[in-house]
Chains A and B, each alone.
Chain A
Amino acid sequence: MARLTYRGGSFEAEDGESVLECLERAGCAPPSSCRSGQCQSCLMKATSGSLPPAAQQGLKDAWRAQGLFLACACRPTEDLEVADADGGALEVAATITGREVLSDEVVRIRLATGSPFEYRAGQFVSVIRPSDRLTRPYSLASLPSEPQLELHVRRVPGGRMSAWLCDEAPIGEPVQLRGPAGECFYLAGEEQPLVLAGTSTGLAPLVGIVRDALDRGHRGPIALYHGSVRASGLYLADELDTLATHPNVRVVRSVLEGPTPDGVVQEGLDALVLGSGHDLKAARAWLCGAPELVRLLKKKLFLAGMPLKAIASDPFVVAPAGA
């Protein structure tokens, strides 16, 4: 049994309970989203006591050194004094500068930051609504050389942040950004074959990575797969067509069921990727989107001979209602 100290209160964490769960029981939890150690929305800071290694999984070294950790992934084994992550130093102020409907499900949001913001295309940021600190992760489809950040926001039924970003917040509205984070960005030998596969708005980081790779003079073949259960989940057709005019780039769009528009095939992403004759021992892969598909593809690519270290993945875990 570990004792947590937070904002002057003292709380008993039950065996196996996370800091997030313990503080939720006490009614004073920090913002959270994925609850599975992926999205970094529930960032907190330990001011005393030692953290289990899993609590800092995926955080950048500078953040680890400051004692920052993920409340959802921290199951304390000894007493711990925790505090809110110091917002000012970790966040960048931004404003919503553009909004464009890409499909029935997806809206492109552009943001301008007040100060320079360093990131790699394909990484994700935590978007924080200032009024109530609601926090959600979004991947970056833009390149750092471009003046604005670009996010693809999927309308989540009942989703508070997506409704706010897509419909409610006026242009010019301020938001706070934290990050960037994540290992999904271009990193490869110039001749290496690249395989990128995603569902839904998992396309955002993948498009960012492909454009970044081309920008950096990548010469190997690039295959970009975008899959959806139905055609309504596909979007960005024109921009993908433009990307596919590049001699090294092949774009494949697929659905599992229902009508298949021109240029779209009906087949599972895993079968398409595995059956395309990619040189998996030499290639590098990025997988983003629905967690089940990301995990399935990662396992299949690995079993087919791809080194685990050559596979970067970003499962998009949707926040439970009310989180």
Chain B
Amino acid sequence: MSSIYEQIGGAPAVDAAVDIFYRKVLADDRISDFFDGTDMDAQAAKQKAFITMALGGPNQYTGKDMRAAHKHLVKRGLSDSHFDAVVENLGATLQELGVPAATIGTIAESLGGLRNDVLDR
């Protein structure tokens, strides 16, 4: 069975999702500080990798990478509520792109498996 990544159209669909997702998190007061870096292109590249991974596409992230990449943010107070807000924004992004609710639920569930890595627990 093909991955959700393939079903929604692969890399071009992810490109479209990145701009929408990035706008949402920058506008979300709960988490915008974590995303408001000086280099927007570098931020967008990270988000592309994140969304690709979330959709089960080809990616090189491991749980260990997620832990290392977020350690400095945990020190700044990254917590469960922020994690939930990111998942919520990704869900809203995919909804805008016409991904069915059931599929979004599956994605959110699989992202839950990363929670402890991201929050360094």
Once the chains bind, are B19 and A303 in contact (CB under 8 Å)? no
A-B pairs under 8 A by CB, number: 22
A278 within 8 A of B: no
**Distance of A123 from chain B, by nearest CB (Å):** 17
A3 within 8 A of B: no
Known A-B contacts A298-B40, A299-B40, A302-B40; A308 and B26 likewise in contact (beta carbons under 8 Å): no
Once the chains bind, are A302 and B22 in contact (CB under 8 Å)? yes
B-contacting residues, A272-323, CB 8 Å: 295, 298-299, 302-303, 307-308
Interface centre among B23, B36, B41, B44 (most CB of A within 10 A): B41
CA distance A300 to B118 in the complex (A): 29
Question: Looking across the interface, which residue of chain B has its beta carbon closest to that of A54?
Answer: B42
Q: Which residues of A contact B19 (CB under 8 A)?
A: 302, 307-308
CA distance A308 to B41 in the complex (A): 8
Q: Which residues of A contact B22 (CB under 8 A)?
A: 302, 308
Q: Which residues of B contact A298 (CB under 8 A)?
A: 40
Q: Which residues of B contact A302 (CB under 8 A)?
A: 19, 22-23, 26, 40
**Distance of A47 from chain B, by nearest CB (Å):** 27
Once the chains bind, are A308 and B27 in contact (CB under 8 Å)? no
Question: Looking across the interface, which residue of chain B has its beta carbon closest to that of A295?
Answer: B38
Q: Which residues of A contact B18 (CB under 8 A)?
A: 308
Per-residue 0/1 for B27-39: is the Cβ within 8 Å of any A Cβ (1 yes, 0 no)? 1000000001010
CA distance A299 to B36 in the complex (A): 9
Question: Looking across the interface, which residue of chain A has its beta carbon closest to that of B43?
Answer: A308
**Distance of A285 from chain B, by nearest CB (Å):** 13
Once the chains bind, are A303 and B40 in contact (CB under 8 Å)? no
Question: Looking across the interface, which residue of chain B has its beta carbon closest to that of A304?
Answer: B23
**Distance of A284 from chain B, by nearest CB (Å):** 15
Once the chains bind, are A299 and B26 in contact (CB under 8 Å)? yes
B-contacting residues, A152-203, CB 8 Å: none
Q: Which residues of B contact A308 (CB under 8 A)?
A: 18-19, 22, 40-41, 44
Question: Looking across the interface, which residue of chain B has its beta carbon closest to that of A38?
Answer: B39
Q: Can you list 22 A-B contacts with CB-CB less than 8 angstroms, sorted by A residue number? A: A57-B42, A295-B38, A295-B40, A298-B40, A299-B26, A299-B36, A299-B40, A302-B19, A302-B22, A302-B23, A302-B26, A302-B40, A303-B23, A303-B26, A303-B27, A307-B19, A308-B18, A308-B19, A308-B22, A308-B40, A308-B41, A308-B44
Given A299-B26, A308-B41, 14 more pairs with CB closer than 8 A: A57-B42, A295-B38, A295-B40, A299-B40, A302-B19, A302-B22, A302-B26, A302-B40, A303-B26, A303-B27, A308-B18, A308-B19, A308-B22, A308-B44
Contacts from A to B (Cβ < 8 Å): 57, 295, 298-299, 302-303, 307-308
